[in-house]
Every structure is written in C-alpha cells, then in structure tokens.
C-alpha cells in the first residue's frame, strides 16, 4: 500500500520535473564562441524566442566564417530572418538519426515554412545521406546539388533540441528574396486592403498616425477592429474630444513586435502607444489554447485573424473596439455592437496578391496565408501544447492515484 503511494508520488514528482524541458538556445550557443555571430542574429531576429518555445527542434548552426559569407550578401534583417529560419527544422535530428535517414533522403519542414513566409514548399529542407557518411543539406528546390554538409553535433538534448553544425548557409532564392523594408510598409493601404478599412480611415487623418509610423522600424503590433466593430462604435467615437480620439487610436497598438506565438504564451499586462506612466492605457492579454483575447477594464476583444506578419511589424484583426477605462465606464460597453465570432477568421485567399495598383507593391507578397495560420496551429500542437497537456494529465493522474492509494 505504502509502496504504491510512494511509487505514484515519485511518478508525480518525475512528471512535474519533466514539465520544465526549458532549453535556451542563446545560452547553449554562448558556450561556443565559434557560433557567436549566428547566436547574435538568432536574438536580433527574435528566432531565439521561437526556438526556445518549441519542444522538438533541430538548429543547423553556422560558425562565424559561414555567417560572414552569408552577411557578405548584405541582406536586410527580415531577409536574414527568413534565411536563418530555414536553418531551424521542426523535427528532432540527432547525429545518429541524421545518418540513418530512411531511403537516404528526406524533406523536413523548417520554421521558414511554418511562419508562412515561404512560397509553396520552399520552406522544406532536403537532407540526403551521401557516400562515405557525408550528409548534405539543401533547400527543397536545389537543382540537384547539395552545398551544405554536416560538420558536427554541437549539443543534443533528445528529443527536445539538437544543435548541429553545417558547413555553409543553405542557399534559397525564396528565403533570400528581398522583403519590404519596414518603413516602406504603407500601414494605411495594407490595413485598408486587409479588411481593416474603417480603422485605417480613422487613422489616416489623425494625429495618432505619426506615432504608428515612427514605431514601425523598431517594432509595432497593431490591433485593428473590424469594419463592423468600428461602425457599431461610431456614435461613441463621435462623442470623444479630438485628444481622446487620438488616445483611443494609439490604444490599439503596442511599440513592440508580438508574434502570435508570443501572444499565446505571454499572458499579462501590455502597454500601448497611448500609455504614459504606469497603469495608464494598458490592457491584459489572455490566451486559451489557440484563442487570444485582450481585456480592458471595460470590455474584451478577441483576435480573429492576422493581417500582416512581417517582423518587426504585425497587425491583427480584433472583433471589438478596445475601450480603455480612461475614456469609458463599464456601463458604456453594454450596448456594444454584436461582434464577430472569436474563432480565427478565414481570410480571403490572395487578398493581398495580384493587385495592380502601386500601393500593392509595398505590401509584402509573401505574408502569412490561411495555410500558414493552420500550419502554425498544427506546429504548436505538435511541438508545445500537446506535450504540455500530456504532462499535465500525468501530473493529475499521479496525484489522484496517490490520494486513492492513501
């Protein structure tokens, strides 16, 4: 009896301990000065955070010499991010598994594929076992040649993260294609085209616009209420003074880049462009599985879609106008227009592609598509959430059995 209890108690402890597989790629690579440039760029592009968040991952690391050849191409930072994200495989490959690939060749999805910046299957990496134990790497569309080769295993934590050195950056025309420089992004036209016209129109003539533009380079996340949310809110908006209108618009953006993954895993207070001083014009981010909601003291809005995600600028569609307590009372929210369902909205395919006017040229042609959102969701399931759930269930099971046996 007692033995059983201890067995379950031990299981419980073991599973609780197992729920902290936290790896920190920055710290792992810091022990290897030969990879300092690569490490630096993982942080600079925010890829490090994405890598740390995932639980089954392989990083194909480039030493300082290989990084220096890559940097010689003078790519912009967003483009470097695309290239490096091709070097992060969303599957675990230790040195052993790498040399035992079935049928000697395989295609593995990378983070470039998962973030939706890749066109088609350009985000897949071909791994091929060659003669004499050599292993070659290339982008999926590789013209029959493999230019990067396995060098050595840097560090392996089976089956969470493996860091393998390869000889040279995997070259890919798709990943190296220029991305729109952030400051060249025309916020107003992108928002207008992506179902955020009403909000863009309010912003266009407003004193709030410069603050949005000034932050695009350093990082900007915009929460854009849908057109129907704005039209339902119009009587209240008209009622505000000019200064209050500016504050309300500024309240819908935050001066940092927050990817959907980051929002999903960072519950808590978020300052906005309207924030001056502590506890002013902030709101709370709450995530539940795939759903992310924004709670002010007055009302709650949900993210229903992504308009554009081009680090360092990202814009989400939300189903209500956020009402800060600085401008509204709780009772003001009661008559708010019915909002769209908080389920992620299916965006129109190719909405941002194939436009003929000149504004469209500014809009990145390779923004996230429906598929990428689904892909993200799927990746999250296979890499994070489900693993956590399994451990939670194990912990609960251990507890319940422990008490039963007592």
DSSP state of 329: -
Q: CA-CA distance, 79 to 394, in Å (whole number)?
A: 42
Contact of 51 with 163, CB cutoff 8 Å: no
Q: CA-CA distance, 37 to 35, in Å (whole number)?
A: 6
| Chain centre to alpha carbon of residue 117 | 11
What are the angstrom distances between the C-alpha of 191 and each of 204, 263, 280, 285?
11, 20, 26, 22
Instruction: State the nearest-atom distance from the C-beta of 384 to ligand NAG, in Å.
Output: 14
Instruction: State the nearest-atom distance from the C-beta of 223 to ligand NAG, in Å.
Output: 22
Q: CA-CA distance, 59 to 61, in Å (whole number)?
A: 6
The nearer residue to ligand NAG, 24 or 183, going by C-beta atoms, is: 24
The nearer residue to ligand NAG, 27 or 152, going by C-beta atoms, is: 27
Among 398, 387, 339, smallest CA distance to 19 is for: 387
Q: CA-CA distance, 313 to 213, in Å (whole number)?
A: 10
Instruction: State the nearest-atom distance from the C-beta of 235 to ligand NAG, in Å.
Output: 4
CA atoms in the 13 A half-sphere facing the CB of 158: 6
Instruction: State the nearest-atom distance from the C-beta of 226 to ligand NAG, in Å.
Output: 20
The nearer residue to ligand NAG, 40 or 280, going by C-beta atoms, is: 40
Q: CA-CA distance, 148 to 178, in Å (whole number)?
A: 22
Residues that bind ligand NAG (CB under 6 A): 24, 26-27, 52, 97, 100-103, 105-107, 126, 128, 142, 144, 146, 235-236, 239
The nearer residue to ligand NAG, 43 or 119, going by C-beta atoms, is: 43
Instruction: State the nearest-atom distance from the C-beta of 212 to ligand NAG, in Å.
Output: 26
Which residues, 6 or more positions from 27, have their beta carbon under 8 angstroms from its beta carbon? Answer: none
Instruction: State the nearest-atom distance from the C-beta of 93 to ligand NAG, in Å.
Output: 8
Instruction: State the nearest-atom distance from the C-beta of 101 to ligand NAG, in Å.
Output: 5
The nearer residue to ligand NAG, 126 or 382, going by C-beta atoms, is: 126
The nearer residue to ligand NAG, 170 or 301, going by C-beta atoms, is: 170
Angle between helix 36-44 and helix 77-85 axes, rounded to 10 deg: 110
Instruction: State the nearest-atom distance from the C-beta of 149 to ligand NAG, in Å.
Output: 13
Cα angle: 189, vertex 195, 198; to 5 degrees:
75
SS3 sequence of 218-250:
CCEEEEEECHHHHHHHHHHHHCCCHHHHHHHHH
The nearer residue to ligand NAG, 265 or 355, going by C-beta atoms, is: 265
Instruction: Tokens 């599973």: give the residue.
Output: 15
The nearer residue to ligand NAG, 41 or 316, going by C-beta atoms, is: 41
């Amino acid at each position: 009896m007692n033995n059983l209890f201890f067995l379950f108690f031990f299981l419980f402890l073991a599973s609780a301990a197992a729920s902290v597989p936290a790896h920190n790629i920055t710290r792992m690579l810091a022990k290897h000065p030969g990879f300092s440039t690569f490490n630096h760029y993982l942080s600079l592009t925010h890829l490090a955070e994405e890598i740390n968040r995932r639980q089954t991952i392989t990083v194909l690391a480039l030493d300082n010499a290989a990084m220096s050849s890559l940097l010689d191409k003078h790519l912009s930072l967003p483009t470097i991010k695309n290239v490096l994200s091709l070097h992060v495989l969303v599957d675990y490959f230790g040195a052993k598994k790498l040399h035992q690939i079935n049928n000697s060749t395989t295609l593995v999805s990378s983070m470039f594929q998962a973030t939706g910046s890749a066109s088609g299957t350009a985000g897949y990496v071909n791994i091929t076992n060659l003669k004499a134990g050599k292993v070659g790497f290339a982008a999926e569309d590789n013209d029959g040649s493999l230019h990067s080769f396995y060098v050595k295993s840097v560090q392996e934590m089976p089956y969470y993260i493996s860091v393998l050195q390869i000889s040279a950056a995997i070259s890919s025309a798709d990943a190296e294609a220029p991305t729109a420089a952030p400051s060249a992004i025309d916020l107003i036209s992108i928002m207008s085209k992506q179902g955020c016209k009403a909000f863009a129109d309010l912003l266009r003539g407003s004193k709030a616009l410069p603050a949005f533009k000034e932050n695009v380079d350093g990082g900007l996340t915009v929460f854009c209420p849908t057109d129907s949310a704005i039209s339902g809110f119009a009587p209240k908006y008209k009622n505000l003074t000019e200064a209050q209108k500016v504050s309300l618009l500024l309240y819908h953006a935050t001066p940092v880049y927050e990817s959907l993954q980051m929002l999903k895993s960072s519950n808590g207070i978020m300052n906005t462009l309207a924030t001056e001083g502590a506890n002013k014009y902030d709101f709370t981010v709450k995530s539940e599985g795939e759903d992310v909601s924004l709670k002010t003291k007055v009302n709650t809005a949900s993210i229903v879609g992504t308009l554009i995600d081009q680090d360092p600028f990202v814009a989400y569609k939300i189903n209500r106008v956020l009402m800060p307590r600085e401008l509204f009372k709780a009772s003001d929210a009661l008559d708010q227009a019915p909002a769209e369902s908080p389920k992620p909205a299916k965006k129109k395919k190719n909405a941002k592609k194939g436009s003929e006017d000149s504004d469209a040229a500014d809009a990145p042609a390779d923004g996230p598509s429906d598929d990428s959102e689904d892909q993200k969701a799927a990746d999250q399931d296979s890499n994070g959430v489900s693993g956590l759930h399994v451990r939670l269930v194990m912990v609960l099971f251990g507890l319940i059995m422990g008490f039963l046996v007592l």
